[in-house]
Amino acid sequence: MIFDNISISQAIVLFAIYSFMGWIIEAVYRSISERQFINPGFLYGPFISIYGFGAAFIIILTFLIHPWPLPIKLIVYGIVLTLTEYFTGFIFEKVFKLKLWDYSDSRFNIHGRVSLLFSLCWTALALIFITFIHPAVLRHVQAQDGSFLRVISIVLLIYGVTDFVFSIATITAFRRKISYLYSEYFNLSDAEIEKIFSSFKRLRSAYPNLRRYIDNNIDMEIKNRISTFLKSILSKIRLNMEGRKPFEDEFYDITKDIYTHDEFMKLKLHQHHNSSIYDHVMDVSYFSYRACKFLKLDYQSAARGALLHDFFLYDWRNHDVPDLPAEKFHGIEHPKIAIANAKKHFILNDIEEDIIRKHMWPLTLVPPKHKESFIVSFADKYLASKEFFDKFKQNNVRRQIKKTPKAHKPHKKHNDPHTQHDREPRV
Ligand SMILES: [Fe+2]
Ligand SMILES: [Fe+2]
**Could you read off the pLDDT of 162-186 as tens digits, one per residue?**
998 988 888 888 878 877 877 777 7
User: What pLDDT score was predicted for residue 326?
Assistant: 66
Residue pair 292/375 in contact (Cβ under 8 Å)? The answer is yes
The rounded Å distance from CA 369 to ligand 2 centre is: 18
Ligand nearest to the CA of 383: 2
Residue 312 CA to ligand 1 center (angstroms) comes to: 9
Q: For the chain, what percent of residues have pLDDT higher than 70? A: 85
Ligand nearest to the CA of 330: 1
Q: pLDDT value at position 396?
A: 65
Amino acid letter, residue 44: Y
Nearest ligand to the CA atom of 336: 1
Residues 213, 380: Cα–Cα separation, whole Å:
18
- % of the chain with per-residue pLDDT over 90: 43
Burial class (CB in 10 A: 0-12, 13-18, 19+), 199: middle
Ligand 2 mean position to 280 CA, how many Å?
Answer: 7
Between the CA of 106 and the centroid of ligand 2 the distance, in Å, is 27
* DSSP-assigned beta bridge partners for residue 276: 271
What integer is the mean pLDDT of 262-284?
88
Ligand nearest to the CA of 363: 1
More confident residue, 4 or 165: 165
In the reported structure, the alpha carbon of residue 274 is separated from the centroid of ligand 1 by a whole-number distance in angstroms of 14
What's the CA-to-centroid distance between 397 and ligand 2, angstroms?
22
Q: What is the mean pLDDT of residues 392-418?
A: 54
Average pLDDT over residues 18-31: 92
Q: How far is the CA of 121 from the centre of ligand 1 (A)?
A: 37
Mean pLDDT of the chain: 83
- Considering only residues 415 and 201, tell me which one the structure prediction assigns the higher pLDDT: 201
For the residues 346-369, what does the mean pLDDT come to? 88
Query: What pLDDT sits at residue 397?
Result: 67
Phi and psi dihedrals of 314, rounded to 5? Answer: -160, 170
Q: Count CA atoms within 13 Å of residue 363 on its CB side.
A: 12
Dist. CA 272 → ligand 1 center (Å) = 9
Does residue 363 surpass a pLDDT of 80? no
Determine the length of the chain: 427
For residue 361, give the ligand nearest its CA: 1
The mean per-residue pLDDT over the stretch 213-223 comes to 78
CA of 18 to the centre of ligand 1 (A): 45
CA gap 125, 50 in Å, rounded: 14
**Residue 410 confidence class, pLDDT cut points 50, 70, 90:** very low
Across 22-26, 209-213, 422-426, least confident range: 422-426
pLDDT of residue 414: 38
Q: Indicate whether 367 pLDDT > 80.
A: no
Report how far apart, in Å, the C-alpha atoms of 154 and of each of 54, 137, 220, 364 are: 22, 19, 47, 45
Q: What is the pLDDT of residues 225-234, one digit of tens each?
A: 888 778 888 8
- Tell how far the Cα of 374 is from the centroid of ligand 1, in angstroms: 13
| Cα separation values, 281 from 58, 249, 377, Å | 56, 17, 12
Give pLDDT, residue 270. Answer: 86
CA of 75 to the centre of ligand 1 (A): 47
- CA–centroid distance, residue 372 to ligand 2 (Å): 15
pTM (whole model) above 0.85 = no
Ion ligand 1 residue ranges (Cβ < 5 Å)? 310
* Residues less than 5 Å from ion ligand 2, measured at CB: 310, 380
3-state secondary structure the chain: CCECCECHHHHHHHHHHHHHHHHHHHHHHHHHHHCCCCCCCCCCCCCCHHHHHHHHHHHHHHHHCCCCCHHHHHHHHHHHHHHHHHHHHHHHHHHHCCCCCCCCCCCCEECCCEEHHHHHHHHHHHHHHHHHHHHHHHHHHHCCCHHHHHHHHHHHHHHHHHHHHHHHHHHHHHHHHHHHHHHHCCCCCHHHHHHHHHHCHHHHHHCHHHHHHHHHHHHHHHHHHHHHHHHHHHHHHHHHHCCCCCCCHHHHHHHHHHHCCHHHHHHHHCECCCCEHHHHHHHHHHHHHHHHHHCCCCHHHHHHHHHCCCCCCCCCCCCCCCCCCCCCCHHHHHHHHHHHHHHHHCCCCHHHHHHHHHCCCCCCCCCCCCHHHHHHHHHHHHHHCCHHHHHHHHHHHHHHHHHCCCCCCCCCCCCCCCHHHCCCCCC
Give me the pLDDT at residue 418, please. Answer: 44
Tell me how far the alpha carbon of residue 140 lies from the centroid of ligand 2, in angstroms. 59
Is the model more confident about 322 or about 290? Answer: 290
For the chain, which domains are there?
Answer: 8-172 (no CATH), 229-421 (1.10.3210)
Cα(209) to ligand 1 centroid in Å equals 22
Distance from the alpha carbon of residue 67 to the mean position of ligand 1, in angstroms: 60
**Alpha-carbon torsion angle 215, 292, 234, 363, nearest 10:** -30
pLDDT band at 160 (very low <50, low <70, confident <90, very high): very high
Ligand 1 midpoint to CA 360 (Å)? 6
Q: Which of 70-84, 212-226, 300-314, 350-364 has the lowest mean pLDDT?
A: 212-226
Of 302, 286, 292, 291, residue with least CA distance to 248:
286
